[in-house]
Amino acid sequence: MTASAEQIKKLRELTGAGILDTKRTLEEFNGDFDKALAVLKEKGLKAAEKKAERVAKQGLIETYVHGAGKLGVMVEVNCETDFVAATNEFKQLAHDLALQIAATKPLYVSVNDVPADAVDAQKKVFADAALAEKKPANIVEKIVQGKTDAYLKEIVLLRQPFIRDDALTIQDLIQSVIAKLGENIVVRRFARFELGE
C-alpha cells in the first residue's frame, strides 16, 4: 500500500523522522498510522538515548511571569549548538518547561538530584502510615513503592506528566524534541518564585 502525502507529513511532524523513513515505515505497516507512529517514536527515543552523552553547553534561559508579576520562573535549557537554540522547536520546549514549572512546582530537575535521605524519610512516613492501618508486611512494601513513585512524579520535573498532554512525561517531551532536532537537550536548572512564599 502506498502512503499518502498527508500521512507522511503528519508522521514527520509528530516524530521528526525523514521523508523516506516515514514513507517506508507506513508502507511496511500497510498504511497503519498508529503502528508506524509507534515504530518511529521508538526509533527516535533510541536515537535520543545515543545523544545523551554529548555535551550540551549552548541553549537559552527562558523566563515566564504570571499573574501580573506574582509568579515567575527562570529555566536554563541547554543544547549542543547555538543554531538549534535559535529554532522555534527549541524555544517552544523552553517555554513549555517554564509553564510546567510555574503550574506544578517541582523541586528537582531529575531523580538524581533528590537527596537520598529525603526519599528515605518519605518512605518511612509511607511505611508507618501503612503499618498503622494494619496492612500486611508484603502489602506495605508495595504501598511504599507506589506512594514513593507518586511522590517523585510530583517533585521531579522530568517525571511529571506534561500539562498540555498528560500522556507524555516531561522526559518524553524532551526526548521527542531531541529526536526532531538531532541534538542532546538538557534541563540544567530552574528557579520558581511566588510572591509571599
Model pLDDT for residues 66-112, shown as the tens digit of each residue:
988 899 999 999 999 999 999 999 999 999 999 999 999 999 999 99
Instruction: Return the CATH number at 147.
Output: 1.10.286.20
Residue tagged 527549541 (cell numbers): 90
For residues 177 and 143, membership in a common domain is answered with no
- Same domain, yes or no: 11 and 47: yes
Of 65, 132, 128, 60, whose CA–CA distance to 101 is shortest? 65
Distance from chain centroid for Cα 121: 26
- Domain match, 100 and 164 both: yes
Domain assignment of residue 95, given as a range: 58-109+156-194
Please tell me the pTM assigned to this model: 0.72
Mean pLDDT of the chain: 85
The pLDDT of residue 34 is: 78
pLDDT digits (tens, 9 = 90+) for 16-33: 666 677 777 777 777 777
Q: Look at residue 13 in the predicted model and tell me its pLDDT.
A: 67
Percent of the chain with pLDDT over 70: 86
| One domain for residues 133 and 168 | no
Same domain, 35 and 17: yes
Confidence category of residue 138, pLDDT binned at 50, 70, 90: confident
Predicted pLDDT at 101:
97
- The yes-or-no verdict on residue 197 having pLDDT over 80 is no
Q: Say if residues 100 and 163 touch (Cβ distance below 8 Å).
A: yes
CB 116 within 8 A of CB 88: no
